[in-house]
C-alpha cells in the first residue's frame, strides 16, 4: 500500500470518507514524506522508543512513526477521523488511537498503561495551531517522563519559545518553556506541504526535556508570577510592571529586591535572563511573603 503522506493518496482518502476540514480544529494534513522523515530524525525515533502523537488526522505522521517506533499512542479529538484511522493504519499492530482531547486526558496514566517501564518516550506531532501553547505547557508542567517533544507548529510561536533574552520574540512563554526544556527551532516548513494550506508559516520545534531546571527557585508558581507580571506591558520597566502587579505599597520591597538581585529597575523584562529572574523572584518572595 502506498504511503498516506502523498497528495494522491491523501486526496483519495478524503474523497472515500467525504471528509470536510473543520477550521475550528485547525486541521492541516501533511503530504510530504521528506518532511515527515526529517521530523522523525529530529526526534530520534527508533525501534526502542515509544511515541505519543496529538492530532493524527488521517494518519500520515502516525504511519511513519509506526514504521520506526516500538509503539505509537495517538490522541484524536475528532470522532469523524476514528474510522478513517482504523482503515489507514490497519496494517500496523503497534498503534493505539485514543479518542480524547489531550488537554483533558490523564497522559501520565496513559503512559503507564501503554509503554514499557523505563522506555524512552517522545512526543511527535503536527499540532493544531490554535492550541499549541496550552498543549505544550500541559506536557511540560505535568513533568511527564518524556525525553523529547518534536512538534510542527506556527513559526511565530516556535520563534517565541526558542527566543533568547533581548530579542523581540523573548517573553514569558520563552522562559516557561526553557525552564523545563532546551528549545530549538530545527527547520521551517513551506505552506505547500499541507492540505489545506495554512495561512501562516510553520516550523519544527524540538524541546529536549531537562532532568533538572537550569535555575533553583524557592517557589515555582511565584517565579512564574514574577515573570508574567514583568512582561504584562512590554514597554514598561520591570520596576513599573512589578509595582503595578504587587501594589504601590510594595514599592520599597520591590526596589530592595531589584538592587539585591543586581537588576537595574529601569530595565525591561525582555532583557533579563532566566537566571536573573530566578534570583529576583527568590529575593522578592522573602520580602513580600516573609
Annotated binding site for S-adenosyl-L-methionine: 28, 30, 55, 76, 101, 126
Give the cell for residue 262.
543586581
What is the sign, positive or negative, of the torsion defined by CA atoms of 245, 250, 252, 254? negative
Element (H, E) at 76: strand 71-76
From residue 199, give the alpha-carbon distance in Å to each of 27, 50, 95, 194, 204. 12, 32, 31, 11, 16
The three state secondary structure string of 160-198 is HHHCCCCCCCCCHHHHHHHHHEEEEEEEEECHHHEECCC
Element (H, E) at 99: strand 95-99
Give the cell for residue 176.
516557561
Cell 474510522 sits at which residue? Answer: 83
Q: How far apart are CA 88 and CA 33, in angstroms?
A: 16
The helix-helix angle for 238-246 and 220-230 (nearest 10°) equals: 120
Backbone angles phi, psi at 243, to 5 degrees: -65, -40
- H helix runs in 106-237, sequence order: 107-114, 132-141, 155-162, 172-180, 220-230
Extract the annotated binding site: 28, 30, 55, 76, 101, 126
Amino acid at each position: 500500500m502506498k504511503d498516506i503522506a502523498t497528495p494522491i493518496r491523501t486526496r483519495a482518502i478524503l474523497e472515500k470518507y467525504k471528509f470536510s476540514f473543520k477550521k475550528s480544529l485547525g486541521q492541516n494534513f501533511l503530504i510530504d514524506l521528506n518532511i515527515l522523515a526529517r521530523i522523525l530524525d529530529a526526534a530520534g525515533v527508533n525501534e526502542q522508543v515509544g511515541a505519543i502523537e496529538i492530532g493524527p488526522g488521517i494518519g500520515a505522521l502516525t504511519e511513519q512513526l509506526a514504521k520506526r517506533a516500538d509503539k505509537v499512542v495517538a490522541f484524536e479529538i475528532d470522532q469523524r477521523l476514528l474510522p478513517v484511522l482504523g482503515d489507514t493504519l490497519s496494517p500496523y499492530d503497534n498503534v493505539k488511537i485514543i479518542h480524547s482531547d489531550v488537554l483533558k486526558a490523564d497522559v501520565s496514566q496513559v503512559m503507564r498503561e501503554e509503554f514499557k517501564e523505563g522506555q524512552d518516550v517522545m512526543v511527535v506531532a503536527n499540532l493544531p495551531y490554535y492550541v499549541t501553547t496550552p498543549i505544550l505547557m500541559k506536557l511540560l508542567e505535568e513533568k511527564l517522563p518524556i525525553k523529547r517533544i518534536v512538534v510542527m507548529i506556527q513559526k511565530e510561536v516556535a520563534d517565541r519559545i526558542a527566543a533568547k533574552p533581548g530579542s523581540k520574540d523573548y517573553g514569558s512563554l520563552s522562559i516557561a518553556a526553557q525552564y523545563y526544556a532546551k528549545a530549538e527551532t530545527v527547520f521551517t516548513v513551506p505552506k505547500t506541504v499541507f492540505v489545506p494550506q495554512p495561512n501562516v508559516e510553520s516550523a519544527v520545534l524540538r524541546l529536549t526535556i531537562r532532568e533538572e531546571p537550569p535555575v533553583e527557585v524557592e517557589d515555582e508558581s511565584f517565579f512564574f508570577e514574577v515573570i508574567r507580571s514583568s512582561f504584562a506591558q512590554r514597554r514598561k520597566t520591570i520596576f513599573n510592571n512589578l509595582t503595578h502587579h504587587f501594589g504601590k505599597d510594595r514599592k520599597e520591597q520591590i526596589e530592595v529586591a531589584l538592587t539585591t538581585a543586581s537588576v537595574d529597575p529601569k530595565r525591561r523584562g525582555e532583557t533579563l535572563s532566566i537566571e536573573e529572574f530566578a534570583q529576583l523572584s527568590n529575593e522578592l518572595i522573602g520580602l513580600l511573603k516573609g
